[in-house]
Amino acid sequence: MPNDLPLKERMQIARHVMPAQDAQVRITNFDEVNLGFTPELAREEAMRCLQCKDAPCSQGCPVHVHIPDFINQIVEGDMLKAADVLLQDNLLPAICGRVCPQEKFCESRCVLGKKGLPVAIGSLERYTADATANQRAARPVGDLPPATGRKVALIGSGPASLACAGDLIRMGHAVTVFEALHAFGGVLVYGIPEFRLPKRIVEYEVNVLRRLGVRFEKNVVIGMTLTLNELMADQGYDAVFIGAGAGLPHFLGVPGEELIGIYSSNELLTRVNLMKAYQSGAVTPIFSYQDKTVAVFGAGNTALDSARTALRLGAKKVHIIYRRSEEEMPARHEEVLHAKEEGVEFTFLAAPLEFIDNGQGWLKGVRLQRMQLGEPDQSGRRSPVPIEGSEFTMELDLAVIAIGNSSNPLLRDTPGLQFTRRGTLEVGENSLQTTKKGVFAGGDIVTGGATVISAMGAGRQAAQEINRYLLELNQPAG
């Protein structure tokens, strides 16, 4: 196809769907579901973009990626340039291309979406990052500005901290990332499964930062191993960024929840992802899913990841049980589609009343109640109202609770930090500074469970603010 294809003809091209593993095959492995665009598909999809001057798509992206520009470079065939356009705004394109809820962000604003289907911006972003990964890794790091002599400590190694680290090191500050777990990446390594986000991609990004000079320290729990005050007073860190995420899983609080066979999505996903239960020979124990009936409570990404993980572990039947309707499901659109293709069954408008004991302390089933949608609640979603007399029972072998997380309590006792009633950290809206001087925060610890790209955006904004703060430290007082 020529580069100068007329508008009309561009609009004739149908949206390309990324090739994927066949549903029946992929539920027998943990390999990535999506196979990625071929160069031909990518270019054809890129040709669909109308290069809108005002780029409404960019407005929909939390970090305002210059979408028409990078897509234009794909059409021109200069992939490295396309990648560089992306990297200006988004430090983790291989990851965001895979996991952003594009239908809510960039693609929701694409003009093509008004009449037909939007440009597959996420898939193109992923393609650009993947196609240039080797070349980018081989490039020299480039000149960093002279060292400022300032040290910044980052708490947690999720996308918020990774993005913050990437910017701070390029500003000439010395950066150390402290992570409590034994692997770096936060939810990207312990939560999101291999079949959606291969761990080698997270490793790649961590290595990029290492090459730039970011130090990574694992096995350090800030608040326990080292306190915030020790970091600043004893270890000489001039500023701190808290990107500790929202990791504490909620439970339903219904009778019978302590039965064996019921656990949190975090436990299932941590055992499978971080502890690598998906590989043969891993030592972490996992309940046998072979031929079992499993219910997952919740309807976000975590719930869908749990359901699809259960299938891959051999479950016979997997139900998603959600108290609202399909429309309110917070999960990424593509995941819902993929889950349906894989045979996950959805029970909407039903809520658990109690779990049933098999007489030996193991789960045997759940009693559910049908719901209907009432008035919109504070979040703007119509809230579920129980229907009297609609109770029914579902036989189950295993249940996974995926109804959200609140922030980890490890830092709550830190003097000087203020938390909201929901347990999230208080920060200045623009400054991202906490109530403690020199301590900034962003990502899920501030917003509650959100998205990778919003955490990354907050990390970058914090880097700007920290830089400003550090420069002000250099000014003589008065």
Partner 1 sequence: MFEIKTKTKIAPDIFRFEIYAPLIAKKFQAGQFIVLRPLESSERVPLTIMKANREAGTITLIVKAIGLSTRQLAELKEGDAVADLLGPLGKPSEIGKFGTVVVVGGGVGTAVAFAVAQTLKEAGNRIIIISGARDQSFVILEDDLREISDELIMATDDGSYGVKGFVTELLKDLYRKGEQIDRVIAAGPLPMMKLIADITREHGTPTIVSLNPIMVDGIGMCGGCRALVNGKIVFVCVDGPEFDAHQVDFDSLMRRNNAYRDIEQEKEHACKLDAQIEEMKRA
Ligand X SMILES: Cc1cc2nc3c(=O)[nH]c(=O)nc-3n(C[C@H](O)[C@H](O)[C@H](O)COP(=O)(O)OP(=O)(O)OC[C@H]3O[C@@H](n4cnc5c(N)ncnc54)[C@H](O)[C@@H]3O)c2cc1C
User: Would you tell me which residues interact with ligand SF4 (CB under 6 A)?
Assistant: 49-52, 55-57, 61, 63, 65, 67-68, 90, 96-97, 100, 102, 105-106, 110-112, 118-119, 121-122, 125, 453
- Residue owning tokens 């943990």: 30
- Binding mask 345-384 toward partner 1 (x if CB under 8 A, else -) reads ----------------x-----------------------
Rounded distance between C-alpha atoms, residue 272 and residue 313, angstroms:
9
Residue 90 interacting entry, from ligand SF4, ligand X, partner 1, none, C-beta within 5 to 8 Å by type: ligand SF4
- Alpha-carbon torsion, ordered 54, 57, 60, 64, to 10 deg: -70
| Contact status: 185 vs partner 1 (CB under 8 A) | no
Interaction between residue 34 and ligand X (CB under 6 A): no
Burial class (CB in 10 A: 0-12, 13-18, 19+), 189: buried
Q: What is the DSSP string of 342-374?
A: HT-EEE-SEEEEEEEE-SSSBEEEEEEEEEEEE
Residue with smaller CB distance to ligand SF4, 110 or 252:
110
Residue type at position 136: R
Q: Which of 50, 221, 254, 373 binds partner 1 (CB under 8 A)?
A: 221
Give the type of residue at 115. K
How many residues bind partner 1, per CB under 8 A? Answer: 42
Residue of 23, 181, 259, 351 interacting with ligand X (CB under 6 A) = 181
**Closest by Cα among 395, 313, 292, 303 to 346:** 303
Return the DSSP state at 419.
Answer: B
Strand partners, 239: 152
CA 393/CA 32 separation, integer angstroms: 35
| Residue 182 in contact with partner 1, rule: CB under 8 A | yes
Which residues inside 296-315 make contact with ligand X, applying CB under 6 A? 301-302, 305
Nearest approach in angstroms of CB 400 to partner 1 is: 11
Distance of alpha carbon 313 from alpha carbon 330, whole angstroms: 24
Classify 152 as helix, strand or coil.
strand
Site for ligand X in 321-360 (CB under 6 A): 332
Six token digits for residue 209: 């930062």
Strand bridging mode 382-386 / 363-376: antiparallel
Please tell me whether residue 309 binds partner 1 under the rule CB under 8 A. no
Residue 133 or 248: the one with the smaller Cβ distance to partner 1 is 248
| Residue 337 in the binding site for partner 1 (CB under 8 A) | no
Both tokens of residue 5? 């294809």
Contacts of 24 (CB under 8 A, 6+ apart): none
Stretch of 54-62, 201-209, 243-251, 427-435 contacting ligand X, by CB under 6 A: 243-251
CB within 8 Å of 218: residues ≥ 6 apart = 179, 181, 182, 183, 184
**Binding window for ligand X (CB under 6 A); candidates: 9-17, 221-229, 348-356, 391-399:** 221-229
Stretch 257-276 residues interacting with partner 1 (CB under 8 A): 257-261, 263-264, 266-267, 270-271, 274-275
Query: With binding defined as CB under 8 A, does residue 200 bind partner 1?
Result: no
* Paired strand residues for 356: 365
- The Cα 377–Cα 389 span in angstroms is 24
Q: Which does residue 249 bind out of ligand SF4, ligand X, partner 1, none, counting CB within 5 to 8 angstroms by kind?
A: partner 1
Nearer to partner 1, 77 or 361 (CB): 361
Interface residues with partner 1 (CB under 8 A)? Answer: 180-182, 190, 218-221, 224-226, 247-249, 251, 253, 257-261, 263-264, 266-267, 270-271, 274-275, 281-288, 361, 401, 408-410
Interface residues with ligand X (CB under 6 A)? Answer: 99-100, 155-161, 178-181, 186-187, 191-192, 221-223, 243-245, 247, 269, 301-302, 305, 332, 408, 410-411, 443-445, 449-453, 455
